[in-house]
Amino acid sequence: MTLDDIKKEVRDIPDFPSKGILFKDLTTVFKNAQCIQLLASELHAIYKDKGITKIIGIESRGFVMGSMLSLTLNAGFVPIRKKGKLPADCYEIEYQLEYGSAIIELHKDALNKNDVVLIHDDLLATGGTLAAAIRLVKMAGVKKIYTNTLVELEFLKGKEVIDNDVEFRTLIKY
């Protein structure tokens, strides 16, 4: 199995979550054990020597590979969630999506100044969610931030909104 094989497993859903959006559905990838194993192996190879101490998974599809990465990299797992889903004091940020706006939160006590963080999500579209997650993590004052997604929709130019001091990697591009 290769990353091109995984790319073929991604399902297109037209007009979801709103008219005019072509949604890239990765649930078809996640249900395939071979796909998950290859993705986990590829991501581990990229980050194994970076000194990652915490993996940040962005709700909710970022939790799938994010939690696996925390195991393979021997790092803690920290969720970034939609407003109102985390029980303790949080940093929060509002941002624009390609089809609306949202607020995400991060527990204030989840990170510290010595953490080397990898922020993971399943897909980069316009970059709004990932850029907001980066701003949240920077509020916590960590040592270093890396970011990655499984898929990048290059035509939406989401990489352009990611801070220059944050390394971004992706495995599959459309």
Write down the domain spans for the chain: 49-173
Q: Give me the active site residues, please.
A: 61, 98
Query: pTM (2 decimals)?
Result: 0.95
- What is the average pLDDT across 20-45? 96
The Cα diameter of the chain in Å comes to 44
pLDDT class for 98, splitting at 50, 70, 90?
low
Residues 97-110, mean pLDDT to the nearest whole number: 89
Using N-to-C axis directions, what is the helix angle for 62-72 and 33-47, rounded to 10°? 60
Burial label for 74, CB within 10 Å (0-12, 13-18, 19+), is exposed
pLDDT-derived band at 96 (thresholds 50, 70, 90) equals: confident
Q: Report pLDDT for 18.
A: 84
pLDDT of residue 20 exceeding 70, the answer is yes
| pLDDT value of position 17 | 84
**65's tokens:** 């590979």
Q: What is the mean pLDDT of the chain?
A: 96
What is the rounded radius of gyration, in angstroms, for the C-alpha atoms of the chain?
15
Instruction: Check if the beta carbon of residue 116 is closer than 8 Å to that of residue 50.
Output: yes
How does residue 97 score in pLDDT terms, banded at 50, 70 and 90? confident
The class of domain 49-173 in CATH terms is alpha beta
- Whether the pLDDT of residue 102 is over 70: the answer is yes
